[in-house]
Each structure stands twice: as structure tokens, then as C-alpha cells.
């Protein structure tokens, strides 16, 4: 059986006890209690995970954060946001605003056309999926004219509509 993790001595036992009790919310309490149970009670990570109803990996992560950065290492701000953005939000808005006029005039803008502009702006290649996500982020919708067959004859179609027999199933 694996030994319990070693906890760095950032806080004394009394300070650690106070620190656990003063947790501002449930998540912080769980993280602090994991450190307490590992350091003071000498429980292995899988037992701490069972007691706190979290994954073993989460306990190992909390221990590593505490050992590296001390009590401040457990103050997590979440992972939301655009972490891998190539353009800032304002740059994307500016890029699309420049093309919005052409779209409003009825000129067809396609994702491959926009992709070329994005690649020129960035100086690197991007996937077509990146362009579609950019359009989706800014609320652009896919609107286009209904498809027409190249050999369609509107006069013949209208004559067919007027002279076609009515369905007997109505």
C-alpha cells in the first residue's frame, strides 16, 4: 500500500486547524480538509478521496498545489475563458465589422473567404473550424440564398404549378 503524501510545513498544526475552519465555502473547505487529513491524520489520497467524495486525482492535485505554493495555492479561480485565442475579442469584432458592410450589400461571404482574411491578419494558417467558431462567437448566422438549379426555367415552373392536377388525397 502506498504511503500518505508528504505535506510541506507551511502552517503549524494549530494554524492549519484554524485555516480549515475558516474556509469561505464548501469547495475551499474540501480542499483544506484534504490537506488536513493527509498531513495530520496521515491518510492516503484514495481514503481522503472516499471521505470527501471527490476523485483521487483531485486530492493529489490539491496536495501538489499546497506543497508548491502553500495555502495560497488552493485559491483557484476556475478555468473559464478563451485560453488559446489567436485574436483578442476586439480584434475579432473589428475584423468582422469590416466585412459586415459587404455582407449587408448582399455579397456572399463564405467561411473560406473569411479564412483567407484571418490567415492574412494572423500571418499563420488556421482551420476552417476556427473561422466557424469565430462567426458563432459573434452571433453571425449562416444565411444564404436558396439553391437554384442552373438549368431551371421559371416560366415552365409557373406553368406547371397552374396546370398540375390537384391531389385526390386532400
Q: For position 63, what pLDDT does the model report?
A: 92
Q: What is the pTM of this model?
A: 0.48
Q: Cell 448582399 identifies what position?
A: 106
Q: For position 119, what pLDDT does the model report?
A: 94
Residue 161 to residues 58, 145, 153, Cα–Cα distance (Å) = 67, 22, 13
Q: For position 170, what pLDDT does the model report?
A: 53
Q: Which residues of 21-44 are buried (b: 16+ CB within 10 A; e: fewer)?
A: eeeeeeebebbbbbbbbbbeeebb
Q: For position 168, what pLDDT does the model report?
A: 56
Q: For position 1, what pLDDT does the model report?
A: 61
Rama region for 162: left / alpha / beta (φ>0; ψ in -120 to 50; rest): alpha
Q: For position 74, what pLDDT does the model report?
A: 84
Angle, to 10 degrees, between the axis of helix 111-122 and the axis of helix 128-137? 100
DSSP letter for each residue of 71-83: GGGG----S-S-T
Q: For position 90, what pLDDT does the model report?
A: 93
Q: For position 143, what pLDDT does the model report?
A: 67
Domain ranges of the chain: 13-74, 89-137
Per-residue pLDDT of the chain (170 residues; tens, 9 = 90+): 677 788 888 888 899 899 999 999 998 999 999 999 998 888 999 999 999 999 999 999 999 999 999 888 888 777 777 777 788 999 999 999 988 888 777 777 788 989 999 999 999 999 999 999 999 999 888 766 677 888 899 999 888 888 887 765 55
Q: For position 76, what pLDDT does the model report?
A: 73
Contact between 34 and 46 under an 8 Å Cβ cutoff? The reply is no
CB atoms within 10 A of CB 106: 7
Q: For position 121, what pLDDT does the model report?
A: 93
Amino acid at each position: 500500500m502506498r504511503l500518505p503524501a508528504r505535506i510541506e510545513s507551511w502552517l503549524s498544526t494549530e494554524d492549519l486547524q484554524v485555516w480549515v475552519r475558516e474556509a469561505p465555502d464548501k469547495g475551499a473547505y474540501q480542499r483544506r480538509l484534504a490537506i488536513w487529513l493527509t498531513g495530520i491524520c496521515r491518510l492516503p489520497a484514495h481514503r481522503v478521496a472516499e471521505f470527501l467524495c471527490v476523485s483521487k486525482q483531485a486530492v493529489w492535485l490539491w496536495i501538489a498545489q499546497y506543497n508548491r505554493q502553500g495555502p495560497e495555492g488552493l485559491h483557484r479561480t476556475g478555468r473559464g475563458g478563451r485560453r488559446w485565442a489567436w485574436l483578442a475579442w476586439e480584434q475579432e469584432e473589428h475584423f468582422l465589422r469590416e466585412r459586415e458592410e459587404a455582407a449587408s450589400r448582399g455579397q456572399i461571404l463564405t467561411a473560406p473567404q473569411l479564412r483567407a482574411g484571418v490567415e492574412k491578419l494572423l500571418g499563420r494558417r488556421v482551420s476552417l473550424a476556427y473561422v466557424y467558431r469565430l462567426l458563432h462567437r459573434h452571433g453571425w448566422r449562416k444565411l444564404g440564398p436558396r439553391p437554384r438549379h442552373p438549368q431551371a426555367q421559371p416560366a415552365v415552373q409557373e406553368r406547371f404549378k397552374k396546370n398540375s392536377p390537384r391531389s385526390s388525397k386532400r
